[in-house]
């Protein structure tokens, strides 16, 4: 349940401040993004990256976050390598022929 709540918070930040930008909320967004990233997660960083990419706002960014974001040029950079899912989770023609 914890990750769901954190991910919901990041969605709130992304969509909420896109509609009505408030500097103090943006500061919280940056801090939570850094904490999430330091915990080994990419979700918050991806949402922060997307906000910066698609927002009309061009706020000042924390230098530590700016340095981390240099490693991500597009959304594909946030995909986790080596994720192992059973084959049945990936639809193929053979899965539908039965």
Cα gap 45→22, rounded to integer Å: 19
- Residue 87's contacts (CB-CB under 8 Å, 6 or more residues apart) are none
Question: Taking the complete model, does pTM exceed 0.85, yes or no?
Answer: no
Instruction: Give the tens place of pLDDT for each residue, 20-62.
Output: 999 999 999 999 999 999 999 999 999 999 999 988 888 999 9
Cα gap 67→8, rounded to integer Å: 25
Q: Are 72 and 45 in contact (CB under 8 A)?
A: yes
């Amino acid at each position: 349940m914890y990750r769901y709540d954190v991910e919901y918070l990041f969605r709130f930040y992304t969509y909420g401040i896109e509609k009505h930008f408030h500097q103090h909320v943006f500061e919280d967004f940056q801090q939570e993004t850094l904490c999430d990233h330091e915990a080994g997660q990419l979700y918050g960083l991806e949402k922060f990256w997307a906000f910066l990419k698609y927002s009309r706002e061009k706020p000042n960014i924390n230098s530590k976050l700016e340095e981390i974001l240099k490693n991500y040029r597009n959304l594909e950079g946030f995909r986790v390598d080596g994720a192992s899912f059973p084959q049945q989770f990936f639809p193929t023609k053979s899965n539908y022929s039965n």
